[in-house]
Amino acid sequence: MFVQAGNALQTDVIGLRADTAFSSIMVGLMMAAYYLGYCAGPMLGHLVIGRVGHHATIGICVVMAAGAILLQPFFVTVPAWIALRVVSGFALSLCYVAIESWIHGSVTNLLRGRVFSIYMCVQIIGMTLAQWLLYLAGAESVGPFVLSAGLFLLAALPILVAYRTHPSDVPPRPLNIAKLFRYSPLGATATVFAGLSWAILFTFGPVCAKRLGFDVSGVGLFMALAVGSGGLLQLPAGWLSDVIGRRHVIALLLGAGAVAGVFGMIASSRTTILVAIALEGAAVFPIYAVAAAQVNDCISQAARVAAAAGLVLLFGLGSLLGPVLCGWVMAWFGTDAFFALMAGTMTAGFALTLALGRDPVEPVRAIEVGPHP
């Protein structure tokens, strides 16, 4: 919760501050720099966690993230912000690898969807908290940068309290991206689209709201509705995926996101725009939890760390494309292109989900799946 609150707060304030200083294309490149670092973190996740453990990895990462955001208000240039965003992305992605492999290594397939949805729901609570803090601190001051750093540092406290716990004694083993797609093409592909849609909504949502005429409090409400509705749907989506299967829920979420994007394109009033972003957030944010559960259903305990790293990397690759694509599209077609791009992204994901069909080994709800053959 603390990590995601800090990350959401820094994303909002950096997007708003950058929009007043740089062009749309530069904002897109700068926001994408975060995901460049985000993609680098998982490549070292297996080595770092295997060497120093989950606890130390999380502690190191939150300190790095806090330092990066504290420096940003003092160096307001594109090169400096790109470099600091790379550092932030690297630290937080490695942090997520440690946290998510810890969770997946501690639960069974029967409960995986619900437990990971609870984890994502707690993240959503952190994101919603961030919108409230943005409103209190004001986007034009240094306050949000300091608050974000403080939230990152607070994330170290639960780790210190839980020092005697550990996810598993099984040593981690490698699992490359190609095998991840071979074991679960559906889960891996859905993760890429989750990252793509998440990044578009998160990085350019505040910019879109601002250009549509919302003030700072309105921007906070715009984003709070997106993440809040996503949080409300997390647990039902996770429970439903445990009951009827991950594939059906993934397809349902992507289809709903496409419809919400089309609704946003035709929305004309402040109220309908807020309804559209709430519906879009409800569809976008639960996708990653269900996709991650789908992948982890199909692998062995020893591959959890590597699978978490692979999922974070795939999410990051999708997220890397999102801001660049959205910045370019909005520069050419204007603010209205935000919802159009969301609709197109979710439609493409829905079509691919239907085309892929079932994974090579479809996990059976009543059976614990071991190492994939």
DSSP 10-41: HHHHHHHHHHHHS-HHHHHHHHHHHHHHHHHH
Report domain extents, the chain.
Answer: 2-162+172-356
Output the pLDDT for position 313.
82
Euclidean distance between CA atoms 212 and 267, whole angstroms: 11
**Topology of domain 2-162+172-356, CATH:** Growth Hormone; Chain: A; (1.20.1250)
Output the pLDDT for position 363.
47
Question: For residue 359, is pLDDT > 70?
Answer: no
- Write out the two tokens for 275: 């309804």
**Helix 112-137 and helix 216-244, axial crossing angle in degrees, nearest 10:** 180
- Chain-centroid distance of CA 335 in Å reads 23
Output the pLDDT for position 167.
56
Question: For residue 373, is pLDDT > 50?
Answer: no
Task: Name the pLDDT band for 302 (thresholds 50, 70, 90).
Answer: low
Output the pLDDT for position 133.
82
Question: For residue 210, is pLDDT > 60?
Answer: yes
Output the pLDDT for position 368.
39
| Per-residue pLDDT reduced to its tens digit, 318-336 | 877 877 788 788 778 777 7
| Per-residue pLDDT reduced to its tens digit, 233-255 | 888 888 888 888 888 899 999 99
| Per-residue pLDDT reduced to its tens digit, 50-107 | 788 778 888 899 999 999 999 988 887 888 888 999 999 999 989 988 888 888 777 7
| Per-residue pLDDT reduced to its tens digit, 154-199 | 998 888 776 555 555 544 555 567 777 887 888 889 999 998 888 8
Backbone angles phi, psi at 212, to 5 degrees: -80, 0
Mean pLDDT of 13-23: 74
Output the pLDDT for position 56.
85
Write down the number of H helices and E strands in the chain.
Answer: 14, 0
Task: Name the pLDDT band for 358 (thresholds 50, 70, 90).
Answer: low
Cβ count within 10 A of residue 260 = 25
- Per the prediction, the chain carries an average pLDDT of 81
**Helix 78-104 and helix 2-21, axial crossing angle in degrees, nearest 10:** 160
Distances, alpha carbon 106 to alpha carbons 114, 171, 277, 284, in Å: 13, 14, 34, 26
